[in-house]
Amino acid sequence: MFENRPDRSDEVVLVGRSNVGKSTLMREITGHKVPTGQKPGVTREPNHFDWASEDFMVTDLPGFGYMQGVEEGHEEAIKTEVVQYVEEYAENVMVGVLVLDGKAAVDIIDRHSGDDEIPHVVELYYLLEELGIQPVVAVNKMDKVPDRDERLNDIADRLGLYPPWKQWRDVIAPITAKKGKIGPFEDAMKSHLEAAKRDDLKKFFA
């Protein structure tokens, strides 16, 4: 199980497959460089970022799925640890940010959808809901997606959200983190923090 969690009450967690841009989004939120790389699986332990004056932190949890140089059993172990972390700290987690690769997400979800199989990203989305954690789906790398609305409608549909996606703007946030284009994500976060009466934390998503 992941250890060394800072002693902070309120938390936002970033979850998702490897190489979807979680660490890049983390860097945009915090303004601090976190390890990112071309190879999947750079983040193997949680990256926590907390502010000395705040009882709040942002956590980038390791990605799951294909990781270069990692045995299959270890990939499964990381996925299990991510789930256990979210379950253990569910009452501290205000928002769970599921980061997807806008270009690849639908194909990956469809490829892993079988009679007895729920794709991991869909499973994570349902897990957040079941635990009472507000999900926000940050659909990243949108600069590489030509059929933007159609793709976002498909993602909404796969997550059980009735299209069109635009009626779910507080849940589905199209972004390009690498270029600093995360406005829809910040808007979604601010709406949830307002609902939670935590206007004091909105400054982190401005």
Decide the pairing of beta strands 134-140 and 172-174: parallel
Burial class (CB in 10 A: 0-12, 13-18, 19+), 107: exposed
Q: Which helix or strand (DSSP H or E) is residue 58 part of?
A: strand 56-60
Structure tokens at 71: 């045995």
> Do 184 and 173 form a contact (C-beta atoms < 8 A)?
yes
For the whole prediction, is pTM greater than 0.85? yes
Task: Kindly list the structural domains of the chain, giving each domain's residue range(s) and its CATH number in brackets, ordered by start.
Answer: 10-198 (3.40.50.300)
Residue 6 has pLDDT above 60, yes or no: yes
Q: What secondary structure letter does DSSP report for 176?
A: B
Pull the structure tokens for residue 135: 């999900």
pLDDT in tens, 140-193: 999 999 999 999 999 999 999 999 999 999 999 999 999 999 999 999 999 999
Residue 141 CA to residue 44 CA, distance in Å, equals 22
Give yes or no for a contact between 191 and 199, defined as CB atoms under 8 angstroms apart. Answer: no
Number of CB atoms found within 10 A of residue 93's CB: 22
Please count the residues of the chain. 206
Q: What is the pLDDT of residues 43-92, one digit of tens each?
A: 467 889 988 888 999 999 988 775 455 566 666 788 889 999 999 999 99
pLDDT confidence of residue 168: 97
Residue 86 DSSP SS3: helix
Is there a contact between 94 and 48 (Cβ–Cβ < 8 Å)?
Answer: no
- CA dihedral angle for residue 77, residue 81, residue 82, residue 84, rounded to 10 degrees: 140
